[in-house]
Structure 1
Amino acid sequence: MTIRTGIGGWNYADWRGGTFFPKGLSQKRELEYASRAVAAIEVNGTFYRLQKPETFRSWREQAPEGFVFALKGSNYVTNRKVLATAEEALGRFMAQGIVELGDMLGPICWQLRATKQFDPDDLAAFFEMLPANYEGVALRHAIEVGHESFACDEFVELARRHDIAVVYSETSKRTPVAERTADFAYLRMQGMSPDCPTGYPPEDLERLKRLCEGWADGDVFAFMINGAKERAPAAAMALADLLKGRR
């Protein structure tokens, strides 16, 4: 039962020059640095394109023991009218080399368009396709929804039955569903302010701390994503310090 706070990606120009990365740090060493400052990173690149096995292997080699990479599931899988037709695209995503991450492979986050409505039969078929393991590596899946039609007991029970975590999305663009449906929780926080050095003021960080602790009967992944992205590393580290009792 571990609470990990993290960020989205690591190649971001506004983090350079002292905002997050030290001045003069080579871009080739940004993952090395970021993976020692936060406990997890959500990789957005896997949402847009397939990677190579050697890419995943390189990420693993640069990160320290105990670090976790969460992967965004391919948009070729999720951005379609009928999710049940995604079997071929899903197979390509699994076969791209994600197993090279080994025990650093965290949850796979399947992000649906915020406008996509709840279709219980189609979603059930999609959940049935998601493998529990691939080439001997255990997989965990999370789904991020947005349309208000998902805010219902039927969706929550469907996700719980398949051990799929429902992503808690804190953004005005998505209807939040704050339900624990798997043996881990996945949070995406997008309410940071550029005017606050830690992204969130102390009272909001305390609120997020309580939220994480409330779901800590299993692993928790809390990512600071988008919003005022330049503040994401500071927000993730501030929340981690709070959870460790340092602030």
Structure 2
Amino acid sequence: MTYRIGVSGWSYASWRGDFYPEGLVQRRELEHVASRLTAVEVNGTFYSLQRPSTFERWAEQTPPDFSFALKGSRYVTHLLKLVGVETALANFFASGVLLLGERLGPIVWQLPATSPYDPDVLGHFLALLPRTTQEAARLAARHDDRLGPDRAVTETTVDRPIRHALEVRHPSFTHADYAAQLRDLDVAGVWTDAPKPWPVLDLPSSSIAYARLHGHTRLYASRYSDRSLDAWAERCRGWHEDGRDVHVYFDNDSEGHAPHDAERLLERLRPT
């Protein structure tokens, strides 16, 4: 069991000259993040399909024990709304995801606040998700022409587990059936911390625990207090004692607090 504490994205101008030292070239920012934290959540995979060369570069810039949590495609979650997504999923996993190898962490799927709980739609979607890299490679082989031969990665040399997490924002997900469905399908329910009225769910449904901290009082902006981070550290230790790998990603990035808060939480979790 490990603590994966990091930030959601790393390319922010407000971090330069602060978390990033003056003079650090932009192409070395990920390397700097990896020297200070243990994981990162990738935003780019949410907005568009990346290239294999991008995943290769990320792997080259980070140590083997660093973890990349990837945000699943918004085309799947926001446009298709989880229906008829087989080809879109194939394209996502063929885009180069498998090139991260041992650095590949969970895939987090974020549903919009307008999407209510539909157990049938959700169950079908979650059952489609690959649970190992070999399953992901077989799914990737079904990609369409959006990915030409030079852009598709459909093979892997190792077979490793792939974990999935789901962030929901509609109040109907507080239904008890949702928690049971996550447990049955071994999917982590994301703890979402934000000032918006999104449901806060602590669902021990998977071998991982996953939290996204968007800013407790101001969305994407507010700094976490020492008292708040003490409480988060205690929560993380509890998840760890339950036998779960712990993933916490700070998304309060607009004023530059995210990397510092992640470091402060990680320091609280280091062995004394």
- TM class by smaller structure: over 0.9
Task: Name 2:151's counterpart in structure 1.
Answer: none
Residue 158, structure 1, aligned to residue 147, structure 2: no
RMSD: 1.7
After TM superposition, give the deviation of residue 199 of structure 1 in Å. 2.5
Equivalent residue for 1:189?
213
1:218 aligns with 2:244: yes
1:237 aligns with 2:268: no
CA distance in 2, matches of 1:179, 1:229: 30
* Residues matched between the structures, number: 242
Deviates more, 1:136-145 or 1:162-171: 136-145
CA distance in 1, matches of 2:131, 2:64: 23
CA-to-aligned-CA distance 1:137-185 (integer Å, 9 cap, x gap): 4311100001110012100010110000000001133211111110001
3-state SS of 1:79 partner: helix
Unmatched segments (≥5 aa) in structure 1: none
Output the CA distance in 1 between the equivalents of 2:81 and 2:217.
Answer: 36
Cα gap change, 1:147/1:12 in structure 2, threshold over 3 Å: closer, same or farther? Answer: same
Distance 1:92 1:123, change over 3 A: same
Q: Distance in 1 between matches of 2:252 and 2:261?
A: 12
Question: Post-superposition shift, 1:224?
Answer: 0.6
- Structure 2 gaps, min length 5: 138-158
Q: How far apart, CA to CA, are the structure 2 residues paired with 1:229 and 1:126?
A: 36
Note if 1:177 corresponds to 2:176: no
- Residue 166 of structure 2 corresponds to 143
Counterparts of 1:91 and 1:142, CA distance in 2: 18
Deviations 1:186-235 (A, max 9, x none): 100122579xxx92211101111111111112100011113655100110
Q: How far 1:80 sits from its partner (Å)?
A: 3.6
Shift of 1:88: 1.2
- With over 3 angstroms needed to count, the CA separation of the structure-2 counterparts of 1:102 and 1:57, relative to structure 1, is same
- 1:82, CA displacement in angstroms? 4.4
Partner of 2:101: 102
Of 169-178 and 41-50, more deviation after overlay is shown by 169-178
Cα separation, partners in 2 of 1:138 and 1:245, compared to 1, 3 Å: closer
Does structure 1 retain, via aligned residues, the 8 Å contact 2:252–2:258?
Answer: yes
Counterpart in the other structure of 1:204 = 228
Q: Is the 8 A contact 1:99 1:137 kept in 2?
A: no
User: Which residue matches 1:128?
Assistant: 127
Query: Which whole-Å CA distance do the structure 2 matches of 1:229 and 1:90 have between them?
Result: 34
CA separation of 1:33 and 1:193: change in aligned 2, threshold 3 A: farther
TM-score by length of 1: 0.93
- One-letter identity of the residue aligned with 1:214: G
